[in-house]
Structure 1
């Protein structure tokens, strides 16, 4: 599935920089032997780090003299894009040298650079940030938008649904993903006018997706849906709440099992089950948010991801590149036509 893909890596991004990024690259190569990489960053820094990983020896380094700071404003970052590891990694996708780019750097700068360099697909007003979250079902659930667009209209929500469904078809190998709109209730009369209008369009959609209506926040992790669509304000809160809840559960279990000798014995007995829970909730096992709606694949890894988390993001990027995500979204938008909303047909932003 990922054989032959070339992935551009912003090797300077993330909280721990090149050490973790290259360790993640090495792990990704071990998981997907056919992957190739372009490591973008300061060659003097990357060369000795690369020497630590025999599995990726000989990987090409693309020199970038500058790095985007985590606190840098997108408007400032854009002006330096051509000299930064982040900007050059995106440019490699634009020029066709890489099928996807992965960065753990500044999210706002990454979105701004990617949108400026790659442009949006025809029929897409705004790119959306999508990521998988763990569920009780057979697969994760794709949630979008996770913060790129805090205010949206009905047309944007429909576009997000189309993009999210195309993403889920590749990620989960589904023919017709179940798509729902996040709302304050499951009844048809609940929600804003924008959500109701989007639901009306999606009910009549002739697309490879199954619209399941509205879903409330307490059902996000039940596994009843493959894609959940919302504006970036609600999506970002949902994401942070889910991450915080996972940490809360893990900390609560740790505290409970260390409270007494009997509890410690109980932990030893139940260790396989608690390890399974920990693995399922570990964000590193679900790492890699994709900017959907661009003429190219760009994946945002969490800044604090471990090497395993970076490898997960790289695998996700390779899967999207191999599955031709951009073409799938473009084809679905074309088949959907005017039903997406009045904004479809405008020139790319």
Structure 2
């Protein structure tokens, strides 16, 4: 199992199909789990994917259309059934607080899980997590909608050869990482002497939206971008009318933003051949492309360099 991967739980848009469940995405990140846009049926998809409710530490809801949130009641009730021991925050547009409350308390249940609301009011940081900083950007959809991204802080990569030459080994490596400086015999060893910069990784999640400033802001420098591509370019007028992107628009943003791995999803049921999305996207994006399928696992690319 990859330490950092996307588990695709559903890839349909407004209406599910025989092969595509409503939306749902679980990002695994070094022992942390983030559930994004749990549409109807997400609890069952988690079972099929082997994802327990205890794997979820935060939930992110982009907006309150049903295909992005109607799975929330089942997931949070399962957390109580499983007696998940840690708190879980549900980040959601503040303007939909009344919808959140209805979904959170949709039916009678022995409510013992610590599930907390996390209203999002605008652009900027929404949570500091052990995995990094979660940020939100406003999108352009008929109802208030936000995209999210995870930004891991920059760090340093230890260089074994330099550590050995400096006489730093065992527990002293950790001490040097924490303090930034270590005395070894008569010599002072600085962290920068035995390590190299390690840029943090970025994950971005862009759901229902027309093209707007928030889309490239979220995608900028992402190692993994999950983005809706509800329509093909032949139906661009429909996409604009209903507040969605085409596969070509999504791919063009990824190319311009330097995205390393692009995951297209949220497909309209009007199309029966997913290869058409790939063909359209590859015309403008030459990076690593994934046309998502239900229950697929997509690794976050290894660190560059």
* TM-score, length basis structure 2: 0.31
Higher helix share: 1
Q: Which has the higher contact order (CA 8 A, sep 6+)?
A: 1
Higher strand share: 2
* TM-score, length basis structure 1: 0.28
